[in-house]
A = this chain, B = another copy of it.
Amino acid sequence: MIEQIREIAQKTKVASRALVNVSTLQKNQFLNHLAEILESDKEEILAENRRDVSRADQSGIKKSLLDRLSLNEKRIREMSQGLQEVASLPDPVGEVINGVKRPNGLIIHRVRVPLGVIAIIYEARPNVTIDSIGLGIKSGNALLLRGSSLALFSNQILVKKAKQALTRSGLPSDSVNLLGSGKHEEVELLLSLRGLIDVVIPRGGGELIQTVVKNSQIPVIETGVGNCHIYLDASANFSMAEKIVINAKTQRPSVCNACETLLVHQAVAADFLPRIGKSLIEKGVEIRGCEKTKALIDDAQVADEEDWYAEYLDLILAVKVVAGIEEAIEHIDRYGSHHSEAIVTEDYQSALRFLQEVDAAAVYVNASTRFTDGGQFGMGAEIGISTQKLHARGPMGIRELTTTKFMVYGLGQIRE
């Protein structure tokens, strides 16, 4: 099997070389062609998707997973619109980031170029196939996709459509390839192909990400886990604090930028917690609190050590009363996942200190953590939210799917 995977990766690499010189116009044509094909061939796509869904249903997977696997007309339209939106984004390739003329006359430009071949490893969500293809090709990269075996028929038909659109736009059809055996060892083999693949991006839950990080010999961009905190400072405006906490916890609890732990300054705990607790419980939130919280919110459960680490992705909130900003920052540092952290305060020094000292991809004063998102940050579509520090941190748009190259223009200079 390794030889087969290597061969596919090799073909993808060859295609990636051709993509380097492709014009923005041609890439946008591809995106628009694919958007059209998805709409015009939707019956065929839905039929293949039904094969996956019925097989998965018989195997008895969870309803929520089945829902993510299922396509319908609306979802196909969304995929198609997503491609058109990516077409409308500026092309990051070719940007001259900076440039100098050195004393010896050498002209040195640092230019943005595609990464090359990007491998995406993901779960049973066929929309990720189209989304990855759109962002990858727009940024000039070739793609090696490895979706879940549960979505194999769906992914196969979507990649077939992508290849049609590639050919119609005059781009190499090997710019997008799908690994198809569905076997687990396939992932391990893929992660060993250093030199053929430039970067691996796992898109999915914590377990998938950890598997990729532990086994990969190729550089990985880690996305996702969010154990996000909101700290209510002693000077917080109560009604602002309440709105932000309710929004960050309940507006969409299943996503990585939702709030998982609330930290409250002890000076305002007796005033704030009973009222915020009531509002949260009315919204169906289960509260797991420290001893002090428990004394202030009757219906709270008792939190244990595990709760401080938890990314619930659900209507559950851990709550802790802290002595002040120092303890809040320490708690976030110890238990957090360095994703999105917020303080609610009217105090200038607390605001500045929180922004400076909390180590996370995004740090907020007086706003909901839910804003950590490529679209909300004005970057256009995103491929994920990086919680690592190398290469990209926070929401990653197509610009983050590029690298740089120094182009040096000489007139015969040699080094003395």
Q: Which residues of A approach B to under 8 Å, CB–CB?
A: 17, 20-21, 100, 102, 106, 108, 115-116, 194, 198-199, 213-214, 217, 219-221, 237, 240, 243-244, 246-248, 251, 333, 355-357, 359-368, 370-372, 376-378, 388-391, 393-394, 403-415
A376 and B243 contact, Cβ closer than 8 Å, known pairs A406-B363, A413-B371: no
Q: Could you list some 10 contacts between A and B, CB below 8 A?
A: A20-B359, A108-B377, A362-B408, A363-B407, A363-B408, A366-B409, A367-B409, A368-B413, A390-B390, A391-B391
A360 and B405 contact, Cβ closer than 8 Å, known pairs A17-B333, A244-B414, A412-B366: yes
A406 to B341, CA, bound (A): 11
Nearest-neighbour CB distance to chain B for A221, whole angstroms, equals 7
Nearest-neighbour CB distance to chain B for A295, whole angstroms, equals 29
From B17, B389, B406, give the contact of A116 (CB < 8 A). Answer: B389
From B108, B357, B403, give the contact of A389 (CB < 8 A). Answer: B403
A406 and B213 contact, Cβ closer than 8 Å, known pairs A389-B219, A413-B368: no
A393 and B414 contact, Cβ closer than 8 Å, known pairs A17-B357, A21-B356: no
Q: Are B17 and A367 in contact (CB under 8 A)?
A: no
A391 to B392, CA, bound (A): 7
Q: Are A221 and B357 in contact (CB under 8 A)?
A: no
From B108, B356, B377, B390, give the contact of A391 (CB < 8 A). Answer: B390
Q: Are A217 and B219 in contact (CB under 8 A)?
A: no
Q: Are B21 and A415 in contact (CB under 8 A)?
A: no
A406 and B394 contact, Cβ closer than 8 Å, known pairs A367-B412, A368-B415, A414-B243: yes
Q: Which residue of B lies closest to A18 (CB)?
A: B357
Copies in the complex: 2
A393 to B97, CA, bound (A): 13
A368 to B412, CA, bound (A): 8
From B198, B221, B367, B409, give the contact of A408 (CB < 8 A). Answer: B367
Contacts of A102 in B (CB 8 A): 376-378
Q: Which residue of B lies closest to A333 (CB)?
A: B17
Contacts of A363 in B (CB 8 A): 405-408
Q: Are B414 and A370 in contact (CB under 8 A)?
A: yes
Q: Which residue of B lies closest to A247 (CB)?
A: B414
Q: Which residue of B lies closest to A330 (CB)?
A: B17
Q: Are A361 and B412 in contact (CB under 8 A)?
A: no
A412 to B365, CA, bound (A): 8
A240 to B355, CA, bound (A): 54
Nearest-neighbour CB distance to chain B for A214, whole angstroms, equals 6
Contacts of A368 in B (CB 8 A): 413-415
Q: Are A406 and B390 in contact (CB under 8 A)?
A: no
Contacts of A390 in B (CB 8 A): 115, 199, 219, 221, 390-391, 403
A199 to B393, CA, bound (A): 14
Nearest-neighbour CB distance to chain B for A357, whole angstroms, equals 6
Q: Which 3 A-B pairs have the closest CB atoms?
A: A367-B410, A247-B414, A389-B403
Contacts of A360 in B (CB 8 A): 405
A108 to B21, CA, bound (A): 34
Q: Which residue of B lies closest to A410 (CB)?
A: B367
Q: Are A412 and B371 in contact (CB under 8 A)?
A: no
A221 to B388, CA, bound (A): 13
Known A-B contacts: A219-B389, A237-B412, A368-B415. Give 5 more (CB < 8 A).
A17-B357, A219-B220, A221-B390, A362-B405, A370-B415
A177 to B339, CA, bound (A): 28
Q: Are B106 and A371 in contact (CB under 8 A)?
A: yes
